[in-house]
Structure 1
Amino acid sequence: MRLIKSIVLVVLAVIGIGTLVALDIADRDIIYSLHTPEEEMNEFHLYKTTGEVKKAYERNYDNPKYLFPRGKVEKIKLYKNQFLISRITSKTLSNENAIAMVDFLNTPNNFDWTETTWRLTESEYILRFFDNDNNEIGKIWLCLEECGMTKSIPFSPNMKFGGLSMTGRENLKDLLGRITQSPSKARNEVG
């Protein structure tokens, strides 16, 4: 009987640890396929040269349809991209910092046209954007130190190809410095 109890406990422990690891990977990475709407594909990418893609992005900088994160933001959470402890280290942005972050992400001057190859696991931070019903409406990965790149869901032409400009890198470092040092209790509506 003790052998059966030991086996059951080991199996439950393995299942529990496996579940924690799977949830962490799902939280910090993209584990599902992304579908680009046909209208968006036609507007920005289909049969276009790089120059035409850039012009399509520029035409849509101020288009409210493509402003990130394409919905009314109730709260933003900042996560350090660290295995198994990212949720524990999360911070909810204050109303002031949340507004500043949304403004930053929708300002094309903070981004340039560089495009590099990098993996989401290289990002230092993940920002998750939530609506009034606590549904995630946007997510962005920030790779600052190694590559100066971002990856956002949903896509926004304001972020160009995801590369941060020198101005954008400095602005983002300042903003993240304010966020990580300030108390994050405010959950007021922004945007």
Structure 2
Amino acid sequence: MSKRRNPVTQEDVREAAEKLKKDGRNVSVNAVIEIAGGSFSTVGPLVREWKEQEAALTHIEIPELVLDSVKKAAADIWKTASSLANEQVERVAKEKQKLAEETREYEEEVKRLESALKLVEKESSDLKKRLETADNRASELRSSNAALEAQLQEKKAEIEKHQAMIERQELRLSELQKELLAIAKKSSK
């Protein structure tokens, strides 16, 4: 007897019965218990159910007209299913082609944008270089301007100094001219 821990199921009984039938042995409750295990009270009703199903299958005679109708219905179902499957395959193929075209378009757009980006990056780099050059030139001009401002201030200071000297000389000249006039007046008297 087989030692089994799980309860015997209808499927276990069916498999055991089929094996017994295949081996040419009689399908009995004891023979099934030897293969599948279980108890007489559990296996007995399951074996009886299997035997009833077997008897029903072997005694059913299907008329030729019904068989032809079933074959025709099966052929129609197969034809419809094949047609639907083919339509589905065609639809999927079209969608795949459409997606492939869209992917190519997107890839071309990406390439175009990458090229444009490279051009913009180059222009940006060129502009940065020009800006750096302009900044350097502006710095040089500010330094030069500061030096020129300093020179201008020096020149203004010199001019003011010379103007002050000229004013003093003119004042001295005016005093000397007055003295000379006074001397000339004294001498003419």
TM-score (norm 1): 0.19
TM-score (norm 2): 0.19
Instruction: Point out the structure with the larger helix share.
Output: 2
Larger radius of gyration: 2
Instruction: Point out the structure with the larger strand share.
Output: 1
Higher relative contact order (CA 8 A, sep 6+): 1
